[in-house]
Every structure is written in structure tokens, then in C-alpha cells.
Structure 1
Amino acid sequence: MKLNLLLTGNELMAGDIIDSNSAMIAEQFKYFGWRINKKVTVGDDLALLCEEIDQLCTSADVLIINGGLGPTVDDLTAVALAKVTNTEIAEHPDALAHLTQWCAKRGYGLNSSNHKQAMLPKGCEIIANARGSAVGIKLKHRGCLIFATPGVPSELRPMLTNEITPILEGSYHSDHIETLRLGAFGLGESAIQELVNEHLGDWPEDIELGFRASMPVLEVKLTARGELAKTKLPLWRTKVGELLGDHLLGELPISLPSATVAALKEHNLQICTAESCTGGLIASQLTGVPGASQVFPGAIVSYSNAVKHRLLSVSEADLAKEGAVSEAVVRQMALGAIASTGADLAIAVTGIAGPDGGTPEKPVGTVWIAWGTADQLKSQCFHLPFERNGFQNWVAALSLDLVRRYILKLPEGSELMKRYQR
């Protein structure tokens, strides 16, 4: 099946809203092996809409039009479809019944603006909309099956699942696919690809290896097409997992905070944080994991030197001599947090997030991290050359991975950590 996609709306062209619907459509369809051939976005221009609909139909079996079915004058999809197919706009009885019922449920009458949504190309079929006022439109042009869908994501999703996908399954071959997604931290795409090239030279043609770079967890995807390929997935998942080694967090959805919480639960440990430059970000990420209360008694955000001294018992002499961003201070922060919360482990961070505050000896991006127990406390300095938010996020990610490795007795140094160590 050749599938094209047409998105319409001035708000898309102006950047007022971000297109998430095309990603939703691609995500739902890829399970069936259907991929979008071509995607076009146009504004609320009737002539341009007609031109693109006609052209896209010549190169596709199916065209999905998203947007332009609303009650206002700039919603032009129904009119464009009528012009392209040389039909009239007429009141559709089923669309009118839907609109009347939709308005009645909300306690108001059908007005002229809403009535516009019942004016559709004559002879078209409608697609049920379980959530909104605008029904979808189904018709054919140049042998291409057209589905016009609403632009509201919460209306589009059930329409795709319950209405459009069953129609397509009945008409087009579906090569159901299965995808395994692994989350890794500390290795880049090129490094993983080199490992695969070197150690897995017999990679099967019916399993696709792919990557999606994101911060901080890299997604490694194994996609199998066809029943035979699916039976091979467990074996190749194991092989890739062995290659990733201690960089593998697990199968997505997984995050560094959830992997750390899982390790803490597995070993019946509790952790606390003492944060300066991250402002509580690490604590926030940990407490975002369901069940974190079992392993996280609390945190201290010690942004000022006075709070470091008063709440974490950091030596005033060391603050004056070594500075807040120093090994002596970060270790005392960790010990003070353990003493205050009674936790088994701590993460402590102090650094220079920028854009100001750096010196030649301690440039912007410098951070000291301490992690471990009171008896086995480790510390390391890193230089993370990112803007402020990026710096804070990378400090949090490195800290969580360091403590995850500590709990699981894994090697401390990933390639990423070695790159940024000072």
C-alpha cells in the first residue's frame, strides 16, 4: 500500500502548534508494515489544497488528510474534496444526525457554524467520530482511497484505531511487524553500530536495526517483519544486549531514574540527594518513578554556602579555601545528607551551570559528583560543556548512572563518562 499524508492548517505553517498527528499516524500504522510515502503540509488555501489533493492521489493507494473539518471559515477540507471530485457540497443526513446528538448532549442547539460540519461532498461516506463534532470523510479520487480526519489528536486517535485501520486491513496486505526497544546510556549510535559490524556480521536481513537518539537514553530498535523473523527476535535481542553490556538499562519504556530505583529496591537500599547546581532535579526525577518512596527518604537542595554549612555540616573553612565547587565540599555534602536522612547512599552534586561564574581553573560546565555510602564514598570531577538546562540534565543523568553502577557492582566508566572526566 502506497500511503500519502496531507496536513492542513495555517497554525501548522506558522508554528503556532507542532505537528504530532503525523507521528501518531505513522506509529499506529507501522505495526501493520504500512509506511507513509510522502507527507505534505499546506495552509488554509483552497486552491493549494485542491492542487495537493489531486497530485497526492496520483501517487498513492491511500491519502489521509488531517485537519480542516471544523466549523469555521478557514476549515476548507470538505469544500476542497468536493471541488477536486467535481461534486457538490450537500447536507449529509448522517453527519447532521451526529451533530444534532453531539450538541444535545452538551445542552445547546445546533448553530449555523456547527451546521457547516454536516455540509460534505455529495455521495461521500462518513467516518464516525466518537469524541468530537466533526465526522470524517471517506471517498475515492483517481482510484485513491481518501480519508479526511479531524486535527484534534484526541479525536484522531480513536478514529484511526476503530474506523480507518479495520477498513485498510480488509483491503490491503498487512505485514505485521514486531519491534523490541532497548534503552542504553553511555554509548552513541556510531559506537553501537561499530560493535554490531564487528561482532554480529551475520545480522539477518528480515530484522531491521535502528536507533533513535534522545537525551539521555539512546533507543536501540530491533524490528522483525513476518512470522519467521519474529521467532528470531529473542535470540538477537540477547546478542545485542550482550554487546551493550553494562550500558544496557533494559527494555523501553525505561529511564535512568527508573533503572536506579529498580536497583535500589532489588538490594533493599535507600538513597538521598544533596544538590546545588541541579536545584533538586535528581530528587525530582527519582520521585517521578512510582514506588520511589520505598527507596527515597528525602533530599536537601543547598544552593547557597550558608545552607551547605547549616544543613549539611560542610566546613566553612573548606568553602572559603576550596570553593563550593570542589571535591572536599561535595563529599561533605553527601555525608551530611546521609546523616540528615538516614539513607544508605547519597548523590551529591555541586557545579557551575553558567552562563556566568566560571574561572580559568573552574570553567562553566565544571561539576563535582559524589556517590556511595558513608564508608565507601566516591567522587569525580566532570566538565560538561552544555547550556544551563543541558548541563543540569547531564549532571542528573551521570549521577544516576554512577549510583546505578555502584549498586549493581558494574564498572564505573562508560565511554561517555570518560569523555567528560577532568
Structure 2
Amino acid sequence: MSNEQQSIKLSLLLTGNELMSGDIVDSNSAMLAEALSPFGCTIYYKATVGDDLALLEQEIARIAGFSDVLVVNGGLGPTVDDLTAQALANVMRVDLLEHPQAMADLEQWCKSKNIAFNAANKKQAILPDGVGLVPNATGSAVGFSAEINGCTVYCTPGVPSELKTMFSEEILPRLPLDSNAKVKRQRYRVFGMGESGIQERVFKSGLKLPKELELGFRASLPMLELKLQANHEQDYALLEHFSEQVEQLFGAHIVTDDNRSIAHVVKDLLLAQSKRVTFAESCTGGLISSMLTELDGASGVFDAGFVTYSNEMKQKMLGVEEATLIAHGAVSQAVVEQMLSGALDRSGADLGVAVSGIAGPQGGTTDKPVGTVWVAWGSKSEIKAHCFYFPVDRKRFQILVAALGFDLLRRELMQVNEEAAYFKERSLKNKN
């Protein structure tokens, strides 16, 4: 959508040394863009600055000069490096004053949280003279707004959960957005295929989207999001038709068309089928179990998991035979099959996954390089196993292996006969 079609020019100014150094990854701009999208609006301009008062003043004044709305995000806390209020006051050429309502709200917040009200907290209620308040329902730092050269400036907290509530409940209703916007989209979360693989499949299929629809990708870990969008109501039928085409094209690689994680999808399938699951983990160190147990309702499908990092614990906890370890090594088909068999016996679960691999950066060999992982999955009556290869850094390796375990379970629960693309693309034998 072109900028000329937007109802307003809304810009975003992020502030904080943590953003500049990479200590904090910006997720707020994506969240704001997501909230604006249904109204046919995108972020017109975005900038990030550190905790530098002069630079912050300069950017507020500059961006306000070409924007209808400016959201300043961050710098509202109680510490000396929180400079947004002072910067806005300097641009407005007004004094900082104690705001009675902001002070009352802050005192009440501290009381409700049983937090001592002190001078540092009080700083959050010292605001530019004449600003309007933007309530913060979930945090201590009140938001505030002002007009600068015809631009409405909203100053908001940097904490994502606080910003999300403030923006959706307080700021969005105040914006002159197109309430008749007709943007509609279909989202799919795909596992086991990267952007290049998805684009190649689209190209080979001959699928040609009409100009009325937009196709987009958003890479994330461990799943990739695929989006189809129609900007006008008269194109909804096209969107529905081509959504069906996309679903047929990617089949079981589509994990979900909502925001659930892959672990959440598996949990829901297990609950629906009244089945319980167990995990025997080595290289993932408990991550698979953690991804499941962080979800509400996990107790309905999960009793026990086993983290057996050493060979000794594989033997003691899961009954893996010493002779098997000696003959094949910990990263082998025979070992993961025995790990899973032991976990199923000891937990009484219906299904399970076992993983043993080389996360790196050391420990690889010619036959089993860093990134090699053996995965076993299934039930007591049928245990399957396969060797995969993920030549990525240690953290990404663990995340991908954990997600792979869930995806294999998902396909098992759904009785999917179609072989996933990763059996070919991520098999160790195809690493060259």
C-alpha cells in the first residue's frame, strides 16, 4: 500500500542505549505495525536513538515536522537515563512540572504493588507543562501527549506489555484512522521450510497471484509466517480462493493459521485425543519439555520428561544398554530408540520423542559433524527414527530440534502420510 493511500502519516521514534547496543531487540515497532494494519495504515517513518538528550530533542522536532502522529517509545522510567519528558519539554519550550493527576496515579500504583514511594518514582510524574495524560493500565510510567507543529506526539513506555495495552486501549481510539478500512489477511505458520524453499515451491507450482493480493513472508524461529492480504472488500473472494490454493500447495507443512506455537498445537491435539506424551532429551537439555509445560493445560497431556545428558544417565534413567552406547555412540539410531522406549515404559505415556545430537561448537567428527541429531518418535508399538542435520549455532540448533520433535508428533497425531520436506533437505546424507 502506498503512503498516499494511508489515512495518516504515523512515525515512530524508539529511544534507549539498550536498543542501540543490541542488548534489547526491538519488538515494539512490529507490534505497533500489526495493530495499525487492519486500518490500512503502516508506520510511515521509524528512527532509533540512544539516551542522548540533544539528539532526542532534534529527532522529536524533525520527525514531528513531517508526521501527523509521532509515537515516542521508551525513556519514561525513574532513572537518570530516562530523558523523554525533558526532551519533549525542551522542544515545546516549557518547564517540567509535577502533574497532580499523574502523581496521584503513581502513588496509588505504588500502594497497590506494596512498593515504597520515593524520589526516583516521583520523577515519572514530573512532566512537560500542558501535556495530556495517556493512562498506563499495567505499569507505573504514565504516558502523555502534546501537539508540536500540527503533529500529535504520544510518549509511551518501552516495556512491550505496557505499550501494547496503552496503544490498543488509549492511543488507537484517538487516531484519525480509516474505520472503514477493508484490509483482510490470511496467515499461515509453516515449519520445515525456509523462505527460499517456500518461494521455490510457489514458483514450481505455477501459482500466480493476481495484483489485487499481496504475498508476504516473515522469517522467525522456529516457524516462518506466510501471509496473503487483500486491501479491498471486493477482493475477498480472490483471497479465499488463493488461500485454498496455498493450503493445498503446502499441505501439512502448515502448522496453524493462528498465533499458536508448534508446542501449543501439539498440546491441543493430545488433549483432543486424550493422549499423554513424554520426552527423552539429551542435546536439547529439557527445552522440549519446557516448551510444553510453559503452556496452560500441559498437565492434561504430560507427566514426566527425562533429561539424560551423560551416557551414564541414559543407562540409569532410561535403560539404554551400555553395549549399545559402546557399539554405536550416544548419537545414533539404536540409542535414541532405546531412550524413547525407556521413557515410554517409565512414564506410561502414549507417545514420545527422544533426541540425541551434537549441538557444538565442539564435539563433531567426520561421520557425525556438529549439527547432527538422531530423533526417535512414536509409541511402544511403533518407534521411528531418523538422522537430521542442522549446521547452525548451538541455540538455534536446540530450538530447531525441539520444534522438529513437536512437528513429528503433530504429524503422527494427525496421521499425515505426506513426508515433510525436511526429511530430504535436512538429512545428514544430503549435507553436501
> TM-score, structure 2 length as denominator?
0.82
Q: Which moved more, 1:95-104 or 1:243-252?
A: 95-104
Gaps of 5+ in 1: none
Q: Which moved more, 1:245-254 or 1:227-236?
A: 227-236
Alignment partners' CA distance in 2, 1:110 and 1:304: 51
Q: How does 1:255-270 map to 2 (within 5 A)?
A: 255-270=261-276
Aligned to 2:166, what secondary structure does the other structure show?
A: helix
Paired residue type of 1:255: S
Aligned to 1:31, what secondary structure does the other structure show?
A: helix
Match of 2:28 in 1: 21
Whether the 8 Å CA contact 2:252–2:418 is kept in 1: the answer is no
Deviation at 1:244, TM superposition (A): 0.8
Match of 2:3 in 1: none
Greater Rg by CA? 1
Q: 1:164 aligns with which of 152, 171, 176?
A: 171
Alignment partners' CA distance in 2, 1:146 and 1:302: 55
Q: 2:155 aligns with which of 138, 148, 151?
A: 148
Match of 1:34 in 2: 41
Alignment partners' CA distance in 1, 2:382 and 2:117: 72
Q: Are 1:391 and 2:360 counterparts?
A: no
Q: Are 1:312 and 2:318 counterparts?
A: yes
Percent of matched pairs sharing the same residue? 44
In structure 2, relative to structure 1, the CA distance for the partners of 1:327 and 1:235 (3 Å cut) is: same
Q: 1:346 aligns with which of 345, 349, 352?
A: 352
Match of 1:138 in 2: 146
Q: Which moved more, 1:35-44 or 1:254-263?
A: 254-263
Deviation at 1:198, TM superposition (A): 4.7
Deviation at 1:396, TM superposition (A): 2.2
Q: How does 1:199-278 map to 2 (within 5 A)?
A: 199=205, 201-230=207-236, 232-278=238-284
Alignment partners' CA distance in 1, 2:397 and 2:120: 54
In structure 2, relative to structure 1, the CA distance for the partners of 1:118 and 1:234 (3 Å cut) is: same
Q: Which moved more, 1:49-58 or 1:244-253?
A: 49-58
Whether the 8 Å CA contact 2:390–2:426 is kept in 1: the answer is yes
Whether the 8 Å CA contact 1:82–1:89 is kept in 2: the answer is yes
Alignment partners' CA distance in 1, 2:404 and 2:39: 38
Q: CA RMSD in A?
A: 3.3
Alignment partners' CA distance in 2, 1:310 and 1:155: 47
Aligned to 2:288, what secondary structure does the other structure show?
A: helix
Deviation at 1:125, TM superposition (A): 4.2
In structure 2, relative to structure 1, the CA distance for the partners of 1:387 and 1:34 (3 Å cut) is: same
Whether the 8 Å CA contact 2:191–2:253 is kept in 1: the answer is yes
- Cα distance per residue 1:305-344 (max 9 Å; x no partner): 3333334333322222222222222222222223323333
Deviation at 1:152, TM superposition (A): 4.5
Match of 2:376 in 1: 370
Q: Are 1:103 and 2:115 counterparts?
A: no
Deviation at 1:291, TM superposition (A): 3.5
Paired residue type of 2:38: Y
Give aligned pairs, total.
416
Paired residue type of 1:21: N
Alignment partners' CA distance in 2, 1:406 and 1:135: 49
Deviation at 1:10, TM superposition (A): 4.1
Match of 2:5 in 1: none
Q: How does 1:173-192 map to 2 (within 5 A)?
A: 175-192=181-198
Q: Are 1:114 and 2:122 counterparts?
A: yes
Alignment partners' CA distance in 2, 1:293 and 1:77: 45
Match of 1:51 in 2: 58
Aligned to 1:282, what secondary structure does the other structure show?
A: helix
Alignment partners' CA distance in 2, 1:158 and 1:343: 40
Q: Are 1:357 and 2:363 counterparts?
A: yes
Deviation at 1:275, TM superposition (A): 2.5
